Amino acid sequence: MISRSRIRAGLTGATATKTVWPVLLTIILMVAVLLAGQPLGAVLAVLAVYLWRRFAHRPWAGVGLPMTWSAVPLLLLGAGVTVAALLAANAASVALGAAVWVPWEPEGLVYLPLVIAFIIIAQAFPEELIWRGNLYDMLADRLSPRVVLVLTSVGFGAFHVFSRSEAQGAVEVALYAAGAVALGFVCAASRERTGTIWMAVGVHSGIYFGNGFFPTEGIVYSVQLAAQALAMVLAGLLVLGRSGIGGRAARSGAVARQAGKDH
């Protein structure tokens, strides 16, 4: 006779397997998207996620992309959260002598609308579709909201260890990755709170907007990276608010996924 402990062990092993594979496939997809370059990478991301969900018999509604009037306000809200967090962090870094403000270059302002559109469509959107859209939904059926938030944030940050950046040495690279984890945390918190990825796309885009609108030059780059990571963590906690993880928005997302299955 099979004991209950063995049954539980089997279920735990099956859950672990179904968790590891989506994360690994997500990382592989991200590598392919980066190698494809922009804007081809964005097209590849959408196509790959679509085919993945077709193969896995998952409704498209689960990625959290409802075409509603709230999409634009949520996107703007997300961008505002990140820009405010970065501005506070960079101001603190300047006050501590770890960075200095860099003046704008007026000749580049004429291309600003195109740059903003490119950042949202070709950079932030495909990555959020992959991580906080598809992967978040894949994991949400078998894991708690807290675990899903951690996995999508840490996995996203770990991937950025290999990103090109100004970070030099083990400490700065680790802090840069920690900042990416913090960014992933705010994005995942946005998905959890709103039930869609629109705010997460705004949060992700805000990283580029914040550094572009309020540029700085690092003197002690590690201090600036730490300040930015801390500010983003606080922003993520603010986004979650009193409802915490597993709030009403997540249940709304589950209802949307069920509606997609019913259709």
Per-position pLDDT tens, the chain of length 263 = 444 443 344 436 556 667 888 999 999 999 999 899 888 999 999 999 999 999 999 999 999 999 999 999 999 999 999 999 999 999 999 999 999 999 877 666 677 889 899 999 999 999 999 999 999 999 998 899 999 999 999 999 888 877 777 778 889 989 999 999 999 999 999 999 999 999 999 999 999 999 888 889 888 999 999 999 999 999 999 999 865 665 544 444 444 444 444 44
Residue 10's domain comprises 4-262
218: helix, strand or coil: strand
Length of the chain: 263
The CA distance from 115 to 137, in Å, is: 30
Q: How many domains does the chain divide into?
A: 1
The CA distance from 23 to 28, in Å, is: 9
pTM: 0.87
Helix orientation angle between 4-36 and 145-159, rounded to the nearest 10 degrees: 40
The CA distance from 8 to 116, in Å, is: 50
Whose tokens are 């959107």? That residue is 125
